[in-house]
Structure 1
Amino acid sequence: MSPTVRDFRPSDAQAVADLRRAALPAVVSTPQGLVRQLATAAPEQRLRCLVAEREGRVIGAVTAHLVHDSSVPGQGSATPHVHPDHRWYGAGAALLSAAEDHLAAAGAARIFAWVDDAPGPLAFAERRGYRPTRPAHFLRLALADAAPPPGALPPGVALHTGADFAADPAPVFAADAETAADEPGDVPCDAMTYPHWLRQIWEHPDHDPRLSTVVTAGGEVAAFTLAATDGLGRYSSSMTGTRRAYRGRGLARLAKAASLRRAREAGCTEAFTGNDAANAPMIAVNHALGYRPYGSEWRCVRELDQG
């Protein structure tokens, strides 16, 4: 029986979170996070979540949207996920086709998708007209092996939790926007707005401000790491960065080490992160903290005007 593709309903949230966790174990996904993402999306994102249903069970999902926080227009994003126990029924192809139709109607000129670094998924993407552009890697750390506390902090440097900035997170946003603009990638993330960041990152249910860390130098935000948790013992570094004026001082490592120690103390058992293969500084930081390879993906693109 072929799967049926339909729009997401709030009652699907648990099933979608479960299948995403099964299909992509390195990514934190929760029902409340998915519902929040859809409810607070900016209109210009044209965000739409679709699910594939077979014999009354949700077996796959895709979230399709325009990349609205970039100065480059016409960029779409859609990566279908199918539960490993329900592959080979055509769910991935059906979801991707529906997502492509939605994005084409929304004005996308090209669509980016993440594809597992394995022969089968890459061949599927190639048949659909996608070509690989750049690799990225997932990393995992057993929190029992997390880095020991650092020694004395450099003069003028202090560690804070994200909760310390609850009244005014704007300085954290400024650091995030600056570092995101410098990240390697196919599409520049250089048009992030504060209202969108508040809604979809800082106030996201999966963001854990108690475990996020902000490093200040001379009272100014210099570096940070944002943490996400799922209540199941899993922790993810959703973004880590250092402002340009403070790079090369080891502050990103300080931020991540402090966050990982608090995560371990809070009962988290494993930590995940991801890096673009060209982001050598963060790869070095994560390796020094004890993270080890856990899988790889390729960013792939399809030019819609080429059919």
Structure 2
Amino acid sequence: MTITVRDFRPADAKAVADLRRAAVPWLISTPRGVAWRVRTAPAAQRHRLFVAELDGWVVGAAHSHMLHDSTVPGQAAATPQVHPDHRGRGFGGALLTAAEEHLYAVGATHLFAWVADEPGALSFAEHRGYRRTRPGRILRLDLTAAGPRPLPSALPPGVRLCTGADFGADPHPLFLADAEATADEPGDVASDAMTYEDWLLHTWEHPDTDLGLTSVVTVDGELAAYTLAATDGLGRYYSAMTGTRRAYRGKGLARLAKTDSLHRARDAGCTEAFTGNDAANAPMLAINLALGYRPSAGEWRCVRELGQE
């Protein structure tokens, strides 16, 4: 068996999306989304998507990129994903080696990866020199069964529910809310240098972002909370980010936004909803469990210092 690792080609988009759905079913992955991410990657990200081939078939892939939206220099990320039918045959290791070599060459000092909370995956990561830093939780909600909890019969005075599409003429207020909430999220590397231009291209205009299912809560005309939604057209819905501006926290507005978005998703034909949380994000975990989400999988954030053996 010969393992071939090479750079992504546009013709690989469907194959990469298919294998990612098989390997990581809770993530939204579409051919147009895969191609968009590669085509629009900012230069500072030094992004490369590696694919692993077997007999002409794409059986694995790994996005590798610098975390350019952080003020901490030298931070990078790469997570190899291999089709379940082809694991344990060296594809993951070959992809990770390619990603490590590329990122080290462009100045990365620390490489972060997500690793499934399973003995085989964790052993693979530890053998490669990665150490665990923090756990993450994947939650799932079956939208065909009980579905999301009911919306309140009446909204508090001054509170209004909108969609992302309502901000089409000027999405800047949503960017400000997203940047503020993202900077406050628990994690290893703060995303504290996000620019409006990058956000427009890679969040607002991303082909997997569903503005009709994105819900926004305003209070007296000011944007207070939101849920960014992503869908794949195959029944999957993912909460890409839920947040509340600091001045409006503790009022149940994030839960209201997420509840509204889930109702929109069910009405649009989505059958299952996924979301991911850092295990230390107790407030968001509590909201998701109250909405009916249940644990589906676990992950560990792991890191390796590049250039050290």
- TM-score, with structure 2 as normaliser: 0.98
**Which of residues 150, 162, 172 in structure 1 aligns to 2:174?**
172
Structure 1 CA distance, aligned partners of 2:190 and 2:265?
A: 31
Structure 2 CA distance, aligned partners of 1:151 and 1:111?
A: 48
Instruction: Look up the match of 2:74.
Output: 74
Amino acid aligned to 1:141: L
Return the offset for 1:155: 1.1
Amino acid aligned to 1:204: H
**Which of residues 281, 284, 294 in structure 1 aligns to 2:283?**
281
Deviations 1:142-193 (A, max 9, x none): 1132111222111111000000001110000000000000000000110000
Would the aligned equivalents of 1:3 and 1:89 in 2 still touch at CA under 8 Å? no
Would the aligned equivalents of 1:115 and 1:121 in 2 still touch at CA under 8 Å? yes
Structure 1 CA distance, aligned partners of 2:241 and 2:148?
A: 18
How do 1:83-102 and structure 2 match up within 5 A? 83-102=83-102
Instruction: Look up the match of 1:163.
Output: 165
How do 1:121-136 and structure 2 match up within 5 A? 121-136=121-136
Amino acid aligned to 1:147: R
How do 1:89-238 and structure 2 match up within 5 A? 89-144=89-144, 145-238=147-240
Instruction: Look up the match of 1:60.
Output: 60
Structure 1 CA distance, aligned partners of 2:37 and 2:152?
A: 36
Runs of 4+ in 1 over 3 A off after TM superposition: none
Instruction: Look up the match of 1:251.
Output: 253
Deviations 1:220-262 (A, max 9, x none): 1000000000000110000000000000000000000000001
Amino acid aligned to 1:63: H
Return the offset for 1:306: 2.0
Would the aligned equivalents of 2:104 and 2:307 in 1 still touch at CA under 8 Å? no
Deviations 1:59-80 (A, max 9, x none): 0000000000001010010000
When structure 1 is superposed on structure 2, of 140-149 and 224-233 the one drifting more is: 140-149
Return the offset for 1:304: 1.1
Return the offset for 1:269: 0.5
Amino acid aligned to 1:171: P
How do 1:19-34 and structure 2 match up within 5 A? 19-34=19-34
Q: Name the count of aligned residue pairs.
A: 307
Would the aligned equivalents of 2:16 and 2:60 in 1 still touch at CA under 8 Å? yes
Amino acid aligned to 1:116: A
Would the aligned equivalents of 2:149 and 2:292 in 1 still touch at CA under 8 Å? yes
- Counterpart secondary structure, 1:306: coil
Q: Over aligned residue pairs, what C-alpha RMSD do you find? A: 0.7
Structure 2 CA distance, aligned partners of 1:3 and 1:147?
A: 48
Runs of 5+ unmatched residues, structure 2:
none
Share of identical aligned residues, percent? 67
- Counterpart secondary structure, 1:149: coil
Runs of 5+ unmatched residues, structure 1:
none
